[in-house]
Amino acid sequence: MKIFHLSAECYPIAKIGGLADVVGALPKYQNEVGEASAVIMPFYNNEFTKNHEFETIFNSELYLGNAVYPYRVLKALDSNLDFEVFFIDVEELLYKTYVYSNDDIDRFLAFQIAALDWILTLEHQPDILHCHDHHTGLIPFMTQESYKYESLNKIPVITTIHNAQYQGWMSYKHLYKIPQFSMENIGLLDWDKMINPLAAAIKCAWRVTTVSPSYMEELKHNANGLEHLLAHESAKTEGILNGIDTDVWNPETDDFIIKNYSKTSVKSGKKENKKWLCKTFNLDENKPLIAFIGRLVGEKGAELLPEVFHNIMQNKEANILLLGSGLKETEAQLSHLKTLHHENYNVFIGYDEKLSHIIYAGADFLLMPSRVEPCGLNQMYCLRYGTVPVVRSIGGLKDTVVDIDNHGFGICHNEVAVHDIVFAINRALEFYKDQTKFNANRKHIMSIDHSWKASANAYINLYNSIN
Ligand code: ADP
Ligand code: GLC
């Protein structure tokens, strides 16, 4: 089967969050089981594109209404990736140092139109178009409705929702930019008097998946306005849990971390990584280390963290280290806490891939008090590195973390409230005190299999069911 994934992000080319990790791994595992899976993504002005050589395989121009933009399709000559990537280079719109900003409407419309215009010209058409999130949400509509893409309307289109909070809303003043279709069907684009690309994808895609079974259920009651639509379309929906790339995320071979380790050497291996973190961030290596890695936004419960941390720091039993960026006010509050608790607390405001790996390796606990968590990859990464997750039971976190009091291996809580998060952290610190049990648990969690094998097959079965 020839599969094209269409996405705004793909690791290691352009990463903002977990979407990149998924699109950077799923095609590789699909290729391993004999399919021909490739990625189509924008050509950004970033480290990856600056440091690789590209060849142009197609040259044309696209229309956004009456505006004409020249574009190219590029392939990397030396990428060393385990799957093919086709880059859509619309220089004027997409070749930016950022992935997302406030000019996304024209940028991602152009991306989708250019990608489909190019696919129209291919001698060997794909068997599946697999679209990710709202940035590619108009593709299922356009292949079904736009006259120009009529010859593509037999190709099954899947949409995967990684996050339904963001839907790509645009006003009707942009309508003329969408390649012509019968106005009788304009309702397919609409949700609440706006053009809503995610809603259009849910209506028009042949199948709609999301990244964990629990999130699929939750969406029927909490989907930022799309609850009824998802409930109505439930016959074509499915929750497929993400996997992790076990080659990239492997404590035995990870080049980013300070000392590699396996299950048998987990205790000493983690100790070396923790030592480095404590030295670098002025923490006390003799105390348990609780970490947070992620976007500092409401979905992640981030605005509660300053109060949670201040509370935990009172009895000086633990270290806290945070890596993240997002809401400016939360960033400022988290940084300010350093002045109060400098000996056991530190934050790195920003994005740092290498540091994130060292934290997964060196921390004792990873905190995820998410309000919404469609899947969450951090908890699966930390398990693989023998770090105990402390999570709110929601979405993918509910599907992957079982509480120690329920014959499990992590710490779970139910509410996104300071007292509940603090209570969970205190349970974690109690658990840490029994080092024999704690070390046995580390070995156990490192053996949990969250590789892509099962999920890559689940997607293939889904494709087969509609092909
Ligand atoms: P989301 O996509 O909602 O942000 P996920 O848990 O699916 O959440 O994925 C987050 C990914 O981004 C993980 O690979 C995590 O390690 C990474 N990440 C998040 N914030 C940072 C950061 N500040 N520095 C480095 N990596 C980060
Ligand atoms: C989104 C979700 C996250 C998920 C990721 C990959 O960013 O917020 O929970 O893990 O996509 O599917």
- Over residues 349-363, the pLDDT tens digits come to 999 999 999 999 999
Q: Which of 300, 356, 367 to mutate to test the pocket of ligand 1 (most atoms within 8 A of CB)?
A: 356
Q: What is the pTM of this model?
A: 0.96
Indicate whether residue 397 lines ligand 2 (CB < 6 A): no
Q: Which residues of the chain have pLDDT under 70?
A: none
Q: Which residues contact 162 (CB under 8 A, 6 or more apart)?
A: 18, 19, 22, 132, 133, 210, 211, 374, 375
pLDDT at 280: 98
Indicate whether residue 374 lines ligand 2 (CB < 6 A): yes
CATH of 263-446, one of 3.20.20.10, 3.40.50.2000, 2.40.30.10, 3.40.50.300: 3.40.50.2000
Indicate whether residue 63 lines ligand 1 (CB < 6 A): no
pLDDT at 267: 97
Nearest Cα residue to 10 out of 52, 47, 42: 42
Q: Which CATH architecture has domain 2-245+453-466?
A: 3-Layer(aba) Sandwich (3.40)
How far away, in angstroms, is 79 Cα from ligand 2 center? 25
pLDDT at 236: 97
How far away, in angstroms, is 81 Cα from ligand 2 center? 22
**Pairwise CA distance, residues 259 & 467, whole Å:** 47
Task: Give CATH 3.40.50.2000 domain extents, the chain.
Answer: 2-245+453-466, 263-446
Q: Which helix (H) or strand (E) holds 21?
A: helix 18-23
Cβ(364)–Cβ(271) below 8 Å: no
Cβ(138)–Cβ(200) below 8 Å: yes
pLDDT at 80: 86
Q: Can you state the percent helix, strand and coil of the chain, rounding each to 5? A: 45, 20, 35
Cβ(168)–Cβ(134) below 8 Å: yes
How far away, in angstroms, is 146 Cα from ligand 2 center? 30
Structure tokens at 393: 């039971």
pLDDT at 204: 98
How far away, in angstroms, is 343 Cα from ligand 1 center? 26
